[in-house]
Amino acid sequence: MQQANFALLVLRASFGLFLAYHGYNKIFGGNGLKGTAGWFESLGMKWPMWQARMAAATEIGAGVLFAAGLLTPLAAAGMIAVMVVAIWTVHWKVGFFVFKPNQGWEYCASIALVAFAVATMGPGEWSLDHAADLTFTGWNGALIAAALGLGGAAAQLAVCYRPKARS
């Protein structure tokens, strides 16, 4: 069982902190939030500065919570939501492989599926959920992560995504 706890910690810490750093980059990398907002606007997102802040906050918050194993299904839901939106708005039309120009959807799907799998299994004994005696495992964790993640992505896309018509 120690190997499983170690493996879950490695998955949570790597995927969670990588995503948090991705969100940090939306704020402080390149042209900062202004650049991120400009890119979101070019994709067809309404309220691009709000979208930039929301995406960065979700990636940082969900990533840190996931890494720590705290409120794991909710953290996983945030990760799933941002990855589904990224796939839908940017990566799907490129194709599967991440090494294609403009990157395919394989990496985003991998992040979402790892988040879903960890939410289903639970974060393990080496987590803050375990330390606080919070139990979100099995089908409950899976249902929370999937329903909130997919539902959140669908709601955001329905309300905020208005791509320009292709000519």
**Nearest alpha-carbon partner for 43 in 116, 100, 102:** 102
Instruction: Give residue 44's region: left, alpha or beta (phi > 0; psi -120 to 50).
Output: left
Provide the β-strand partners of residue 45.
161
In the chain, the number of structural domains is 1
Q: Which domain holds residue 68?
A: 2-160
Single-letter code of the amino acid located at 117: A
pLDDT digits (tens, 9 = 90+) for 66-106: 999 999 999 999 999 999 999 999 999 998 898 888 888 99
pLDDT confidence bin for 167, thresholds 50/70/90? low
Residue 167 lies in a domain: no
Residue 67 lies in a domain: yes
Per-residue tokens: 7: 């493996």
Question: Model-level pTM?
Answer: 0.94
C-alpha 58: how far from chain center: 7
pLDDT digits (tens, 9 = 90+) for 108-157: 999 999 999 999 999 999 999 999 999 887 899 999 999 999 999 999 99
Residue 70 lies in a domain: yes
Sign of the Cα torsion 98, 100, 101, 104 reads negative
Residue 48 lies in a domain: yes
Residue 166 lies in a domain: no
pLDDT > 70 in the chain, percent: 99
DSSP state of 127: S
Residue 57 lies in a domain: yes
Residue 10 lies in a domain: yes
Helices (H), the chain: 2-28, 32-43, 48-68, 72-86, 106-121, 128-131, 138-160
